Structure 1
Amino acid sequence: MKFCVIDCGTSTTRVLIGEGGMVLAKAALPVGVRSTAIRGDNAELKGAIAKCWRQALAAAKVSPNKIDAVLASGMITSNLGLVELPHLTAPVGLADLRRHLVERLFPDVLPLPIHFVRGVKNCVQENAPDGFALADFMRGEETQALGLLHLPAAEAPFSYVSLGSHTKIIGVDREGRIVGSVTTLCGELFAALRERTAIGASLPQGASIGPEDLNLQLAERGFETVQNYGLTRALFVPRLLDILFDTTPSDRLSFVEGALTAADFACFPLARKLGLPLERLLIAGHPLRTSLFTALLPRLPDPHPDVQFIDPSTLDHALLAAAAALTGAK
């Protein structure tokens, strides 16, 4: 069976065509639900999905009538997407996701019915005194996290750490169920800092830097500055490093990334309180961020967890594995 997976995020939309666990083709555009929030309608998002669909089919040399199922997950099921669906309450496994798939047809996007995957939220009592702190949800990462269970190297329990527009730590228990999550605004905060503040002029312009360009010493100083003086002070320091000290744009970016990582690490006690298994971490995202995240883990007060990197290709295979399990494709 051939099937299509639509993965819609805050800032990116992807379409994968798969068969037998293999990626036949994929297409992506830098358009997500953020465009809906800015524009006030989802026309641009619909257009991006339709274009990715056509591009992926063309690359795979597959006609639409050869696609047996279309699965969509992510922010596409939010109020900024195509169809708003309520979250399922953790714990949630693949069988729960399959049982609650919602089928809809959007002829102006693509000619086949789309099976939408509902997101997952933490189990928190509404009147709990710290309910707002314990609350969290996800859309899209549940499909990735549970898809990882089908890969040989990912044995539960583990926590899947996704370093994207948001940082998410998602716990999967021994039974293969999502038990909860913790989310931060890290990626979007960095984008706003770079694009909407004076600090952006002190950071690298154009292509992002890789792990080989990381100044770990300055990243550690950024980490420590947050611990000692707070995040907002730390995020101003790159301007000082630019004007008053002999530093490079990569040095200053390293400082910022270290500061943001420290802010993310402040959520580990919350993850522990929610019962997320933190002894084993599967980490995916930008190579620099995943590298730095791992390098700074020894600064946590807990024992150093076992860490496994999930590269983009592996994450694609996880998505396809989840799609096959949810749609019954072989």
Structure 2
Amino acid sequence: MKKEYILYFDSGTSNTRAYLLDREFRICDSAKRAVGSKDSAIAGTNRVLIEGMKALYDQVLAANSLTDGDVEAIYASGMVTSPYGLKEVPHLVLPMTVRDFADSLYPFHEDTCFHRDIFLVPGLKTLSDDFSFVNNLRGEEIEIIGALEELKAERDVENVVMLMPGSHTHGIYIQGDQITGIISNFTGELFYALKQDTILSPVLTSDSLELDEAMVRKGIENLERFGFNRALYICHAMRIFEQGTPQQRLSYGESVIMGGVRQSLEYYCEHFWKECRTVALVSDEFMYRLFSMILEGSRYIDRIIWMPISDGKSYGVSGLKKIVSLKGERHE
């Protein structure tokens, strides 16, 4: 009987999503489970992750009246290749073409629960004699390839930084079909820590998704004028002395916390990525508006392309389709 389906896991630190795909890589179904590499780290064994992924696998198959025999291949990306994932797989070193990347899938035979091969997507890294220029990512690499495929189909772009806000905000430099560099920034996790465990919590806690453009500009101005620590204190002082509305204070705080991404990006564009004038922002609408304001007036970036993300769309799935098609074979 012909096997008609592919199962793709996108597994992070805290959550794992499973996508059931047909042979054309169209999403037939998906499900999410609160299990990730963090759970393996806490338990001291990856058994909890493997069992959680298998339960998610069984759930998706059962919901579609399928069995393991209907699944042609299983792929997984993200933190599954970390020390607390399914199998630690070394990062691939940039620069690298998309075609070279497609040839680097790692076959891992999981014999505890699945009893079959799972093809793991490695992360990426840059190397340097100066540790100041070392960067790495896991999980975003397959999304980059999927987003790049869409970007090249719709836009005339050769040299572009793909900016992906998240717990870490990565900027990935792409020249043609070659991924040449990464710059990684500590952002979402920093925002969360400041919001949860500091006196800035009242400022950074807001249900509003509106941004005050003047306060975003002020945050960038003070970040460059005073540095991060003083600029962030001003955010606290605004609340103490009742300056501005809650929306304005949040806009200022977001700008200070995320503004370092502009600083690092401009440094790289000045010294390394000199042919780049375009940023492709893979994000939700809020982050698109925020970074449009943050990058306004940049000497190095004069074009921003928004690539929206949503629950019903996965650049990871698009990236998987691309690398499997380049590999030119189906895995048994």
The TM-score, its normalising length taken from structure 1, stands at 0.85
Deviates further, 228-237 or 145-154: 145-154
> Paired residue for 1:24?
28
| Matched letter for residue 63 of structure 1 | T
Give me the whole-angstrom Cα distance separating, in 1, the residues matched to 2:235 and 2:110: 47
CA contact (8 A) 1:10 1:75 kept: yes
> Paired residue for 1:304?
302
Task: Give the superposition deviation at 1:51.
Answer: 3.9
CA contact (8 A) 2:98 2:179 kept: no
Matched, 1:253 2:250: yes
Larger relative contact order, structure 1 or 2 (CA cutoff 8 Å, min sep 6): 1
> Paired residue for 2:205?
204
Q: In structure 2, do the counterparts of structure 1 residues 234 and 146 end up closer, same or farther at CA, with 3 Å as the change threshold?
A: same
Greater strand share, structure number: 2
1:132-171 CA distance string (max 9 Å, x none): 1221122122211122343322654432111111100111
Secondary structure at 1:214 match in 2: coil
Q: In structure 2, do the counterparts of structure 1 residues 293 and 113 end up closer, same or farther at CA, with 3 Å as the change threshold?
A: same
Gaps of 5+ in 2: none
CA contact (8 A) 1:27 1:56 kept: yes
Matched, 1:136 2:142: no
Q: In structure 2, do the counterparts of structure 1 residues 303 and 13 end up closer, same or farther at CA, with 3 Å as the change threshold?
A: same
> Paired residue for 1:321?
321
CA contact (8 A) 1:169 1:271 kept: no
Give me the whole-angstrom Cα distance separating, in 2, the residues matched to 1:113 and 1:10: 22
Task: Give the superposition deviation at 1:270.
Answer: 4.1
| Matched letter for residue 69 of structure 1 | A
Deviates further, 246-255 or 214-223: 246-255
Gaps of 5+ in 1: none
Size of the alignment, in residue pairs?
320
Q: In structure 2, do the counterparts of structure 1 residues 234 and 40 end up closer, same or farther at CA, with 3 Å as the change threshold?
A: farther
Q: In structure 2, do the counterparts of structure 1 residues 204 and 231 end up closer, same or farther at CA, with 3 Å as the change threshold?
A: same
Deviates further, 19-28 or 53-62: 53-62
Q: 1:68 aligns with which of 64, 67, 72?
A: 72
Secondary structure at 1:86 match in 2: coil
Secondary structure at 1:150 match in 2: helix
> Paired residue for 1:278?
276
Task: Give the superposition deviation at 1:111.
Answer: 4.7
Matched, 1:225 2:242: no
1:181-216 CA distance string (max 9 Å, x none): 0000111111111112221133326xx543xx2222
Give me the whole-angstrom Cα distance separating, in 2, the residues matched to 1:70 and 1:327: 16
Task: Give the superposition deviation at 1:309.
Answer: 2.2
Matched, 1:162 2:160: no
Q: How is 1:97-116 mapped onto 2 (pairs within 5 angstroms)?
A: 97-108=101-112, 110-116=114-120
Task: Give the superposition deviation at 1:29.
Answer: 3.6
The TM-score, its normalising length taken from structure 2, stands at 0.85
CA contact (8 A) 1:88 1:120 kept: yes
Q: In structure 2, do the counterparts of structure 1 residues 67 and 156 end up closer, same or farther at CA, with 3 Å as the change threshold?
A: farther
| Matched letter for residue 67 of structure 1 | V
1:194-251 CA distance string (max 9 Å, x none): 112221133326xx543xx222222222222211111122223333222321544433
Matched, 1:180 2:178: no
Q: 1:120 aligns with which of 92, 117, 124?
A: 124
